[in-house]
Structure 1
Amino acid sequence: MSVSDLSDRSRIIFRELVDSFLTTGTPVGSRTLSKLGSLGLSPASIRNVMQDLEELGLLAAPHTSAGRIPTERGLRLFVDGMMQVAQPDARETALIDREASTSGAPLEEVLSRTTAALSGLSQCAAMVVVPKAEPQLRALNFVPLAPGRVLAVLVGMDGSVENRVLDLPPDLPAAVLAQAENYVNARLSGLSLTAASGRLRQEVAANRAELDRLTADMVAQGLAAWSSDGARPILIVRGSAHLLDSGDLDRTRLLLEELEAKEEMARLLDQAREADALKIFIGAENKLFALSGSSVITAPYRGADGRIVGVVGVIGPTRLNYARVVPIVDFTANRLSRLMS
């Protein structure tokens, strides 16, 4: 359904009702709308239109009230076809600009501060995916654990140490482990994972690696085990306490539990990255937040080469002031893009 499918009267009443609901958070009755003065309709006439909108699935009547609230379908129609976006004011933009400046601080700290500022302005929980720099390899050691299982100990140039368990042929000679270590530490040390993997492929193809097939495969597997999650983005969430203001403790508890599902959250934000633009998820449109009935607004930000490197956004109840929050999220993403360039 689109806005054009509604009559002029239905469109006006629907917009006024949604505006009132997003402002107050309470069901809106026909008498409340009739007092606005701009409609020029009696409560009875408004009730008839509201009934029609309910039959279309755009409004719902909570059993505790005679008023109506917009459904998730109704909110989607409003956001896509009726919402008039308000630009962030000077105070809001100045705050985001101040926090999204390098000032010599580590990138993760700057993004954390910016996300906290976004949370305060939106009165929602705010989140950002921090692009983690690809680690550089210093050394790779292999420690036998059991037949067919080897512990790969990976040391980065920054001093970080990570372990991965590899499954290998059970009859693999011990000399292969030593040869693999010697090759990595002599030929690949100091390279990023991407560069190290590329050099290995080139040297094997040109027969310069002086490695047999088993050793080359083991080095490649060790590098792949690290790169599969060594550069996994970091998810930062700030301002979860704002969610307690919704008044619905059961939904808030569910939402906080959903926020703890870091991997699912990262997957959601990956979807937002693929969208290549600001995206709004309302309630059950995203499976992760179907239980709590929450809305998520996300926008990607870009690096110096123009490619998307992360996502910033907010999460809160479906009763968000979308017209105000959407441009703040968009502005924050633009400032983060400028920070990364």
Structure 2
Amino acid sequence: MTTPPITELSTRARDVFRVVVESYLGTGAPVGSRTISKLAGLNLSPASIRNVMQDLEELGLLEAPHTSAGRMPTETGLRLFVDGMMQAAEPSPEERAQIEARARRGGPVEEALAATSAALSGLSACAGIVLVPRREPVLRQFSFVPLSQHQAVAVLVGSDGTVENRVVDLPPEMPVSALIEATNFMNERLSGLTLAQAQIRLRDEIGRGRAALDAAAQDLIARGLAIWSQDGAQRPVLIVRGAANLIDQSAAADLERVRQLLDEIEGKEEIARLLDSARAGRGMKIFIGSENKLFSLSGSSVIAAPYHGSDGRVVGVVGVIGPTRLNYARVVPMVDFTAQALTRLMA
């Protein structure tokens, strides 16, 4: 069914629809005509309100769950409300300060992203999610430090100053001179390259016979680069914080929905792909329920916004996952502010 433009609804229909949606988002319960007549200054009788609600139901904007006389918005109705009627409430100064403080914390970028996502989760009462930028470090300096006859520590220093260590197994009777030879070659020939570029150059120079390395040193460099590349590919690109917030007071009445949602969150790769689609645009993305097949069973919503690097390009996405009964007017601007805070962090 095609969603009618908000302008095609009469003033009376818009007023009743707004009251139904806002009441439902606040309580999670279907709303009856008598309740509406008491909640809002519509100057309409319960009978008139029932007629309007029936019209809205025929348009696919409201539905009556079970045999209840009350109505609640459909996903189509929620989409119409979010896109055309919602009045956003900007984060308070205290909320802004809390998000900013988490984004400015020191340490690795991933830790700041996780902390900011946790703050967003606590403030929104949803699960906070952040898609970590896919970074391929540019190599600045290498060294192989012997630990024993059978192992060495490979030390990699990135152009951004990050230092990472990995233990590399050594073949039997590898001389210390091979470690020195490998270290010198990597610093002289591979510095300034990404891992992928370094692997290509190594293969090229060995293939052309230009690499003045013995077989032991060649093998050591190749295995060292492979370990780094494998580690990078296996790093999680999605951070989830506050999944416990999804088990709220209404969860007891709908345990199957909550179980399905938690299962969906456990499959981080699927959610990461969903968030990755938000990279395409520069603005907010709101997925309501079955609009995305991933959440068609759990009836959940995702609010996501991209954040940018120092060059202005999109490097990641931050957002929340929660039930379709979200306080969109409050959470949407909060996610947007968090994306701005992360953009400042990445600058």
TM over 0.5: yes
The one of 253, 261, 270 equivalent to 2:267 is 261
What is the match of residue 112 of structure 2? 110
User: Does the C-alpha gap of structure 1 residues 44 and 277 become closer, same or farther in structure 2, counting only changes over 3 Å?
Assistant: same
Output the CA distance in 1 between the equivalents of 2:155 and 2:315.
22
Match of 2:70 among 60, 67, 70: 67
Shift of 1:64: 4.4
Distance 2:330 2:80 in 1: 17
Amino acid at match of 2:130: V
**What is the SS of the residue equivalent to 1:4?**
helix
Contact 1:131–1:233 under 8 Å retained in 2: no
Q: Is residue 118–residue 332 contact of structure 1 (8 Å, CA) maintained in 2? A: yes
Structure 1 pair 307–40 and aligned structure 2 pair: CA distance change class (3 A): same
Matches within 5 A, 1:138-157: 157=156
CA root-mean-square deviation: 3.4
1:37–1:272 CA distance, 2 compared to 1 (3 A) = closer
Q: Distance in 1 between matches of 2:45 and 2:93?
A: 41
State the AA in 1 paired with 2:72: I
Aligned equivalent of 1:76: 79
Cα distance in structure 1, aligned partners of 2:210 and 2:46: 83
The question of 1:244 aligning with 2:250 is answered: no
Single out whichever of 244-253 and 83-92 deviates more from structure 2.
244-253
The answer to whether the 8 A contact 1:138-1:190 is kept is: no
Conserved? CA contact 2:90–2:333, under 8 Å: yes
Contact residue 134 and residue 315 of structure 2 kept, 8 A? no
Distance 1:224 1:52, change over 3 A: farther
CA contact under 8 A between 1:132 and 1:233: conserved in structure 2? Answer: no
Quote the residue 1:191 is aligned against.
Answer: 193
CA distances 1:248-280 after superposition (whole Å, capped 9, x unpaired)? 221111100000001111111101112321110
Q: What does 1:1-341 align with in structure 2 at a 5 Å threshold?
A: 1=3, 2-102=5-105, 104-135=106-137, 136=139, 157=156, 158-160=164-166, 187-188=189-190, 191-196=193-198, 199=201, 230=232, 234-245=237-248, 246-247=250-251, 248-341=254-347
Report the TM-score when normalising by structure 2: 0.77
- List gaps (5 residues or longer) in structure 1: 140-154, 164-180, 212-218
Between the two proteins, the alignment pairs up a number of residues equal to 304
How many angstroms apart in 1 are the aligned matches of 2:242 and 2:19?
A: 30
Which amino acid letter does the alignment assign opposite residue 39 of structure 1? L
Contact 2:308 2:343 in 1 (8 A): yes
* 3-state SS, counterpart of residue 70 of structure 2: coil
What SS does the aligned partner of 1:159 have?
strand
Checking the alignment, whether the CA contact within 8 Å between 1:129 and 1:233 is kept in structure 2 is no
- Closer/same/farther in 2, CA of residues 198 and 302 from structure 1, 3 Å limit: farther
- What TM-score, normalized by structure 1, do the two folds share? 0.78
Structure-2 separation of matches of 1:161 and 1:281: 44
Q: Taking structure 1 as reference, are residues 308 and 85 closer, same or farther at Cα in structure 2, changes over 3 Å only?
A: same
Point out where structure 2 has 5 or more consecutive residues left out of the alignment: 144-153, 157-163, 170-180, 213-220
